[in-house]
Structure 1
Amino acid sequence: MSINKIRSIIYGTAKILGDVNAGKRGKIGKRIERRIVGKFTSRILGKLFK
């Protein structure tokens, strides 16, 4: 198993655990909002710096 595969598994697990934790605290809406804004921002920056 390569280091990149291990890293992606760890980050994926952390993302899921963060979602669970946000759900328990009642802040899932804010988390989803930040994730959408982050994806949108990365797409814009990706197009600017091609």
Structure 2
Amino acid sequence: MKLNKIRSALYKSARILGDVNAAKNGTIGKRIARRAVGKATGKLMGKLFK
């Protein structure tokens, strides 16, 4: 297995564990909002430094 596949699997599992933890703590709404803001910021930064 290549290193990129391992890294991708680890990040996916971390994201799922974060979702489970947020659901357990009752903060899933905040997590979804922050993820959306982070995704939009990442796209914007990508366009700026392209």
**TM-score interval, normalised by the smaller of the two chains:** over 0.9
Structure 1 residue 11 corresponds to structure 2 residue 7:
no
Identity of aligned residues (%): 66
**Structure 1 unmatched runs, 5+:** none
**Structure 2 unmatched runs, 5+:** none
TM-score, normalised relative to structure 1:
0.95
The separation in 2 between residues aligned to 1:44 and 1:10, in whole angstroms, is 25
Pairwise CA RMSD = 0.5
Where in structure 1 do 4 or more consecutive aligned residues deviate above 4 Å? none
Matched positions, count: 50
Superposition deviation, residue 47 in structure 1: 0.7
Output aligned runs, 1:1-40, within 5 Å: 1-40=1-40
